[in-house]
Amino acid sequence: MIACLGYIVPEYVKFPGYCSPSSGLAFSDIPNGLAALSKVPGAGLTQMFLFCGLVERGLFPADPARAPGDFENGGVLGVPNGSTLTDGETKKRKLSAELANGRLAMMAIIGMF
């Protein structure tokens, strides 16, 4: 779902200023979608990759004792606030709904290309 927002919002809103002041690259010069990968400097892509890796390893580490995607620090619906759903039918229903919404969002972003 965030990927769909990230694809749609830049059509209408751009940050002011520069993405890379040293190379004179303004945010308004960066196209939307996959075309942005060819414009963003390598150091910027490296920063994004490392940030995602730090979140994956630090905030949401994998625990083999838990179901896939059910992170200890994830909280309800992935919000890192420590709240949890009690085990039972409600938790199972909400996790199934989240999986279905994630699959729908993947199909939506594929349809945008």
Q: ∠ CA(102), CA(106), CA(110), 5° rounding?
A: 170
pLDDT at 83: 67
pLDDT at 70: 72
Residue scoring higher pLDDT (105 or 83): 105
- In Å, how far are 19, 72, 80, 112 from 66, measured between CA atoms? 40, 8, 17, 34
pLDDT at 9 over 90: no
pLDDT tens digits, residue range 75-97?
A: 666 666 666 667 788 878 887 88
Residue 17 pLDDT class (50, 70, 90 cuts)? very high
Going by the DSSP 8-state scheme, the letter that residue 5 receives in this structure is H
Which residues lie below 8 Å from residue 83, measured CB to CB, with a gap of 6+? 75, 76
Q: What is the pTM of this model?
A: 0.65
